[in-house]
Amino acid sequence: MAITEDLAIYCQRVEQQLTQRLSHSSIQDTLQQAMRYSIFNGGKRVRPALVYLVNQSLTGDLNNADAAACAIEAVHSYSLVHDDLPAMDDDDLRRGQPTCHIKFDHATAILAGDALQCIAFEWLCEQNNDLAAGRQLKMLKTLTTASGDAGMVAGQAFDLAHVDKPLNLAQLEAMHEHKTGALLSAAVELGILSANCEVTPEQHAAYTGYASAIGLAFQVQDDILDITSDTQTLGKPQGSDLSLNKPTYPALLGLDGAKDKLAQLYQQALQATEILGPKAQPLRELAQYIVERNH
Amino acid sequence: MAITEDLAIYCQRVEQQLTQRLSHSSIQDTLQQAMRYSIFNGGKRVRPALVYLVNQSLTGDLNNADAAACAIEAVHSYSLVHDDLPAMDDDDLRRGQPTCHIKFDHATAILAGDALQCIAFEWLCEQNNDLAAGRQLKMLKTLTTASGDAGMVAGQAFDLAHVDKPLNLAQLEAMHEHKTGALLSAAVELGILSANCEVTPEQHAAYTGYASAIGLAFQVQDDILDITSDTQTLGKPQGSDLSLNKPTYPALLGLDGAKDKLAQLYQQALQATEILGPKAQPLRELAQYIVERNH
């Protein structure tokens, strides 16, 4: 599928951009090391790729998307560093590597996360001769709104507050819309803004509809993989997570119901992008990639 | 002194502004409660006051300084919430009240700090019909640069990395310039930008010189108060902290040396502001207030 090549190209591009932006020295080198360690951890760079793909679907200049692609990945990285802390999810490993607070220490992980969030917004202030300051300000507004107490952080707080408590479908969806959906929608919005053109309300609605469909699809497929990967690796029967009272789509809908939901969301993503024409084909392929991925 | 009345007025103003900006509801109310609890903790609001005072010294419109005053206080508050965490300074009390992670829990304190940092930058994106977008972008750049891994967070990391290690005077000064000086300088810069006028390079240098003098003076007086307040409250002899190998100005310069340093910095602040004329009189009074305060 052409999209896997696109993803590889954009992954490489954002990593080069991040390397350049994180090469400065500081009064405290350990802090910078921890920031670099956390952001260069083999992530799939889905959010930056989404920024670039949307930019290209509007025939934008990729150079104008670089700061936004780096910024959204820095926000994502900081959220993982803080999520992994003992007071939060208490994870020692991420992608098979020691998490930041294990590799360094707890204080350094807190500060590296803080600095990664801050630098994300700093990057969006970078001098850009193509983009009007008002547009850059809109990009900042987009990312701050998606990241904070009305978006990602609220979703994380909601998640932690409902450990071991049952959620209904509306609550589960609201949680994911905040925790992961807000940042994926921001990626799409940043892609539009970086393309430096006007979009019609209809086009904008198409992108928004696409973003919310793939945001939720991403999560439903995550939940499905949790079960099917258990089956392979632990030999547990499919659906054994249902008894854990963990709020997942299969727990609420059954595995077949979750698969139906995933198929619906994929169709929603395709329908939403119809009016965007052939330029949006990679976005449709990304939706397919998200629902078909096996890791 | 007239400055104490000014400080009271600006303290009240920024608290009203913060109350308005933090009144929204969320999917997760505990998070918002923790944010409000942390920012409404009886702080002196020195940074917002500095934004307002500098704005007024340039005959600015206070309304254009409100977002910046709120933003810089939110950054300051978030840094205190994270500083107090067990992995950092492990403080249970701040201003006689339980710290955020004691009042709520560790995870909530991490997330409330994260959200306070984020919302600070969101406030600087607020629609403002007076300020050009380019100027708002400069304000964002000022605050992000001061807060992150080249400023405040670097200073905190440096401080934590040197617990129980001796620092020389240059290192101590570099630490404070990052840890507290960067944000105080940002307050002055935000005051200038919010005044929405052009300043000459000479005026700008005057403000910058003033900012770095009072930033350091603030810290030197803190160190002196640590000792003199010990004498009153604990009955320890003056200068007993010297033996703790704690990096302070009295430890490196002796108590008299530290007092000389404080007097020099005060003179520096006065000299720097000479060219700013009578409009800058409150800034001089603020410098006097900082070096003479007893708490």
CA distance A133 to chain B (A): 5
Interface mutation target, options A82, A85, A89, A114, chain B, most CBs of B under 10 Å:
A114
Q: What is the pLDDT of residues A49-95, one digit of tens each?
A: 999 999 999 999 999 999 999 999 999 999 999 999 999 999 999 98
Q: How many CB atoms lie within 10 A of CB B234?
A: 9
**Does B141 contact A125 at a Cβ distance shorter than 8 Å?**
yes
pLDDT at B143: 98
Q: How confident is the model at residue A295, as a pLDDT?
A: 75
Mean pLDDT check: name the lowest of A191-205, A261-275, B243-257: B243-257
The token pair that represents A243 in the structure block: 């008894």
**Ramachandran region, residue B85 (left: φ > 0; alpha: ψ -120 to 50; beta: rest):** beta
The pLDDT value recorded for residue A1 is: 64
Closest CA of chain B from A163, distance in Å: 13
Mutate to test the interface with B, among A23, A28, A82, A106 (most CBs of B within 10 A): A28
Residue A151 is classified by DSSP as T
Contact between chains at A27 and B111 (C-beta distance less than 8 A): no
CA pair distance B275, A95, nearest whole angstrom: 58
- The answer, yes or no, to whether residue A184 has pLDDT greater than 80, is yes
Nearest CA in chain B to A152: B115
Nearest Cα neighbor of A113 from B157, B164, B188 is B157
Predicted local distance difference test score (pLDDT) of residue B245: 61
**Residues 160 to 199 of A: which have CB under 8 A from any B CB?**
160-161, 174-175, 178
Q: What is the pLDDT of residues A215-250, one digit of tens each?
A: 999 999 999 998 887 655 544 445 544 545 668 999
Please give the CATH number for the structural domain made up of A1-171. 1.10.600.10
Residue of B nearest to A109 (CA): B87
Profile chain B (295 residues) by mean pLDDT over runs of 10 residues: 92 98 87 97 94 98 98 98 95 94 97 98 97 98 97 95 89 94 98 98 98 96 85 49 68 94 98 97 96 86
The whole-angstrom distance between A154's CA and the closest CA on chain B is: 6
Residues of chain A contacting residue B182, judged by C-beta atoms under 8 Å apart? none
Q: How far is Cα B72 from Cα B58, in angstroms, rounded to an integer?
A: 19
Nearest alpha carbon to residue B214 among B232, B191, B237, B198:
B191
pTM score, two decimals? 0.95
- Please tell me the predicted confidence (pLDDT) of residue A294: 81
pLDDT at A163: 84
CB B3 within 8 A of CB B285: yes
Answer yes or no: do A141 and B118 touch at CB < 8 A: no
Q: Shortest Cα distance from A46 to chain B (angstroms)?
A: 22
Q: Three-class SS of residue B98?
A: strand
Q: Where in chain B is the domain with CATH 1.10.600.10?
A: 1-196
Higher pLDDT, B293 or A143: A143
- Parts of chain A belonging to CATH 1.10.600.10: 1-171
pLDDT band of A212, cuts 50, 70, 90: very high
Structure confidence by residue, pLDDT tens digits, A93-140? 998 999 999 999 999 999 999 999 999 999 999 999 999 999 999 999
Most A-contacting residue of B89, B102, B153, B193 (CB-CB within 10 A), to test interface: B153
Contact A155/B27, CB-based, under 8 Å? Answer: yes
> From the DSSP assignment, how many helices (H) and strands (E) are in chain B?
13, 2
What is the reported pLDDT for B213? 97
Contacts of A100 (CB under 8 A, 6+ apart): A34, A37, A38, A81, A84, A108, A109, A112, A113
Across the interface, whether the CB atoms of A122 and B144 are under 8 A apart is answered yes
A44 touches chain B (CB under 8 A): no
Place of tokens 């919310």: A212
Q: In angstroms, rounded to a whole number, what is the distance separating the alpha carbons of residues A3 and A49?
A: 10
For residues A191-220, give the mean pLDDT.
97
- Which 8-state DSSP code applies to residue A178? I
Q: Transcribe A109-149 into DSSP letters.
A: HHHHHHHHHHHHHHHTTS--SSS-HHHHHHHHHHHHHHHST
CB atoms under 10 Å from CB of B110, counted, come to: 29
Say if A156 is an interface residue toward chain B (CB within 8 Å).
yes
- From CA B81, how far away is CA B99, in angstroms rounded? 7
Q: How many CB atoms lie within 10 A of CB B100?
A: 28
Touching check for B2 and chain A: CB below 8 Å? Answer: no
> Is the CATH number 1.10.600.10 carried by domain B1-196?
yes
Is the separation of the CB atoms in B41 and B33 below 8 Å? Answer: no
In this predicted structure, what is the pLDDT of residue B1? 64
